Every structure is written in structure tokens, then in C-alpha cells.
Copies of this chain bind each other. A is one copy, B any other.
Amino acid sequence: MATSCKTGSRVAVRPLSEEALEMIARRFALLGEPMRLRLLHALFDGEKSVTALVEASGGTQANVSRHLQAMAEAGLLGRRKQGLQVFYSIADPTLFQLCELVCGSLEEKLARDAKAFARAG
């Protein structure tokens, strides 16, 4: 979406098929759960086993396993099996940028809100 040909400051937006829309939505939805973000956050400094992720996230083994599987199926995570253990890792580098964008935007918004609050009070 916002699939674009930037021409100056105006952006030409092309139409999006229903399937494309659902794929995009599904990807955003995957990032829309705190537990999954916690797992991604733990993976940001490198590949980890399921057990390590269970400890890092504080979740149950079953739940963590499910979330990891969902993200792996969507292509967000990579899976590497070694003996008894399974190691997951960030497979989509845009995850870093996505999270930084949202984080930055939220920080700005919070700063603005705080300022407005101070001005009003």
C-alpha cells in the first residue's frame, strides 16, 4: 500500500487488490500482539532457541511455540533445527525498520501530548 511513485511531494497511489490488502493486514496483525513483539524483541540481538525465548518472554512453552510458528509461516522468522533444539531468528530485515518507525512515531506523539498537557495545566 502507499505503493508509490514519488513525484515531488505528491504520491501516486495505485489500487490494491483485495488479496493484497488481506496479506498486508495479516502482516500488521501479526505484529499487533505484545507477546509476539516481546519475542521479536528478544530475537533482535540474534537467533535463540524456543526454551531461551520462553524464559526471555515469560510465556508458557505452548504459547511461545504457537506464536513462533505463526511468525515463521508468515516469513517473518527463520527456523533452524539442531538436535533437540529449534532456533528461531529474524528472517525479514524490514522488521527492524518497522519497529523503529512505530517507536519513533509514538515517542513523538507522547512528547506532543505531554507538551499540550503542560500548556493546558
Contacts and interface: CB of A to CB of B under 8 A. Distances in A.
A4 B96 CA distance: 9
Interface stretch (A21-29, A60-68, A79-87): A21-29
Scoring A2, A27, A32, A97 by chain B CB atoms within 10 A of each residue's CB, the highest score goes to: A2
Interface residues of A, dominant DSSP: helix
A103 interface: yes
A100 B34 contact: no
Interface of A: 1-4, 11, 13, 16, 18, 20-34, 36-38, 40-41, 44-45, 75, 92, 94-106, 109
Contacts of A28: 28-29, 31-32, 37, 102
Copy number in the complex reads: 2
Contact of A33 (B29, B98, B101): B29
A32 B28 CA distance: 5
A2 B95 contact: yes
A33 to B, nearest CB: 6
Given A2-B96, A13-B44, A94-B101, 19 more contacts: A1-B37, A1-B100, A1-B103, A2-B95, A2-B97, A2-B99, A3-B100, A11-B96, A16-B41, A24-B102, A25-B31, A25-B33, A28-B28, A29-B29, A30-B32, A31-B32, A94-B104, A94-B105, A98-B102
